[in-house]
C-alpha cells in the first residue's frame, strides 16, 4: 500500500471561526429575544457584527486555501453537495409558508364559511355572516379594510427584472467558462444591479401597501401570508445580491478560472433558487 503522507483530501487545522460564529449566533438570538420582550437591540447588533466578522474571516480562509491549490476536485464536490442541500433546506422553509397559504385558502376559509360540511359549527356559532373569498382578513376583519395587491403593476415588472437577472448571471457564467473576464464582470454587474433594483421596487411596493392600501402584516391571513412570503423572499434576494456583489469583486480581482470557480457557481445557484421562489410567489401570492 502507498505510504504517502500527503493528504489527498484537505482537512483544515483547527479554526477559530466556527466558535466565533456560535457566539455570534447566540448573541444575535439573545438580542432578538430581548428586543421582542421590549428591551434594547444592542445585543442584536453586536451579534450581527460578530457574525459578519466571522464570515469575512471564514470565507477569507477558504478563498485563501482554494487559491493556494490545497483543494482537490473531491473537495469541490463536497462544497457542491453542501450548497445543493443547503438550498433544498431553504426550499423546505419556504414550503412551510406556501403550505400555510394553500391550507388557509383550501381548508381553513371554506370551513369558516360553513359551506363545507365538516365544520359548520364555527361558522354557525361564531361568524354566521362570514363568506369565503380571497383575499380576506378573516371573519373578524382583523386589521380593518384593506386593498389587495394587484399582480400586474410593480410585481409583474419585478418578475421581468428577476427573470432577466437569471439570464445575465448565466451569461456571466458563459463568459467565465470562455475565460472572458469582461463578459463575466459585465454580466455580474448587471445581475447585481437588477437584484438591487428588485429590492428597491419591493420596498416601494411595501410602502405603498402600508400607507395607501392599509395592507399590513396585521391584515388577517392575507396580510400574514403576503408579507411573510414576500418578506422572506426579499431578504433572500438581498443576501443573494450581496453574495453576487462579492463575486463581482472577486472576479475583478481575478479569483476565478474556467476550472475553479465554485464560489461563483454557488452564488448563481442561490440566485436561480431565489428566482424560482419568486415565480411561485408571483403565481400563488399575487396572481391567483
Partner 1 sequence: MSTTADQIAPAHDEHHAPRGLLRWLTTTNHKEIGTLYLVFSLTMFFVGGTMALIIRAELFQPGLQIVEPYFFNQMTTMHALVMIFGAVMPAFVGLANWLIPMMIGAPDMALPRMNNWSFWIMPFAFTLLLSTLFMDGGGPAGGWTLYPPLSLQTGAAFPFVILAIHMMGVSSVMGAINVIATILNLRAPGMTLMRMPLFVWTWLITAYLLIAVMPVLAGAVTMLLTDKYFGTSFFNAAGGGDPVMFQHIFWFFGHPEVYIMILPAFGIVSQIIPTFARKPLFGYASMVYATASIAFLSFIVWGHHMFTVGMPLAGELFFMYATMLIAVPTGVKVFNWMATMWRGSMTFETPMLFAVAFVVLFTIGGFSGLMLAIAPADFQYQDTYFVVAHFHYVLVPGAVFSIMAATYYWLPKWTGHMYDEKLGRLHFWCSAIGVNVLFFPQHFLGLAGMPRRIPDYALQFAGFNMISSIGAFLFGLSQLIFLWVVIKCIRGGEPAPAKPWEGAHGLEWTLPSPAPLHTFQTPPQIDPSEAHG
Contact 112, 133 (CB under 8 A): no
Check binding of 139 to partner 1 (CB under 8 A).
yes
CB of 179 to partner 1, least distance (A): 27
Contact 130, 139 (CB under 8 A): yes
CB of 5 to partner 1, least distance (A): 6
> Which parts of 3-32 interact with partner 1 (CB under 8 A)?
3-5, 7-9, 11-19, 21-23, 25-26, 29-30, 32
Contact 214, 151 (CB under 8 A): no
Check binding of 114 to partner 1 (CB under 8 A).
no
Distance CA 159, CA 163 (A): 6
Distance CA 118, CA 110 (A): 10
> Which parts of 180-199 interact with partner 1 (CB under 8 A)?
none
Binder among 216, 244, 245, 278 for partner 1 (CB under 8 A): 216
CB of 252 to partner 1, least distance (A): 27
Distance CA 125, CA 90 (A): 40
Check binding of 235 to partner 1 (CB under 8 A).
no
12 vs 128, which CB is nearer to partner 1?
12
Distance CA 285, CA 147 (A): 14
CB of 29 to partner 1, least distance (A): 4
Amino acid at each position: 500500500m502507498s505510504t504517502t503522507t500527503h493528504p489527498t483530501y484537505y482537512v483544515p487545522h483547527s479554526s477559530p471561526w466556527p466558535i466565533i460564529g456560535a457566539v455570534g449566533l447566540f448573541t444575535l438570538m439573545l438580542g432578538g429575544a430581548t428586543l421582542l420582550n421590549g428591551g434594547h437591540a444592542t445585543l442584536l447588533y453586536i451579534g450581527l457584527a460578530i457574525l459578519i466578522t466571522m464570515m469575512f474571516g471564514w470565507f477569507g480562509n477558504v478563498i485563501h486555501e482554494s487559491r493556494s491549490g490545497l483543494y482537490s476536485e473531491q473537495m469541490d464536490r463536497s462544497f457542491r453537495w453542501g450548497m445543493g442541500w443547503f438550498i433544498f433546506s431553504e426550499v423546505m422553509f419556504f414550503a412551510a409558508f406556501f403550505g400555510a397559504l394553500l391550507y388557509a385558502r383550501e381548508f381553513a376559509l371554506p370551513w369558516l364559511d360553513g359551506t363545507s360540511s365538516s365544520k359548520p359549527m364555527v361558522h354557525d356559532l361564531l361568524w354566521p355572516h362570514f363568506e369565503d373569498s380571497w383575499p380576506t382578513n378573516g371573519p373578524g376583519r382583523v386589521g380593518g379594510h384593506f386593498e389587495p395587491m394587484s399582480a400586474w403593476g410593480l410585481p409583474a415588472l419585478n418578475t421581468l427584472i428577476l427573470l432577466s437577472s437569471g439570464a445575465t448571471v448565466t451569461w456571466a457564467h458563459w463568459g467565465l467558462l470562455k475565460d472572458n473576464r469582461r463578459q463575466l464582470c459585465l454580466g455580474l454587474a448587471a445581475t447585481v444591479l437588477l437584484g438591487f433594483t428588485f429590492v428597491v421596487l419591493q420596498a416601494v411596493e411595501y410602502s405603498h401597501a402600508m400607507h395607501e392600501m392599509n395592507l399590513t402584516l396585521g391584515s388577517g391571513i392575507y396580510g400574514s401570508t403576503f408579507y411573510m412570503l414576500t418578506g422572506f423572499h426579499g431578504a433572500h434576494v438581498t443576501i443573494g445580491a450581496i453574495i453576487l456583489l462579492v463575486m463581482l469583486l472577486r472576479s475583478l480581482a481575478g479569483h476565478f478560472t474556467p476550472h475553479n470557480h465554485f464560489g461563483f457557481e454557488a452564488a448563481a445557484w442561490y440566485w436561480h433558487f431565489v428566482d424560482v421562489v419568486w415565480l411561485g410567489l408571483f403565481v400563488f401570492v399575487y396572481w391567483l
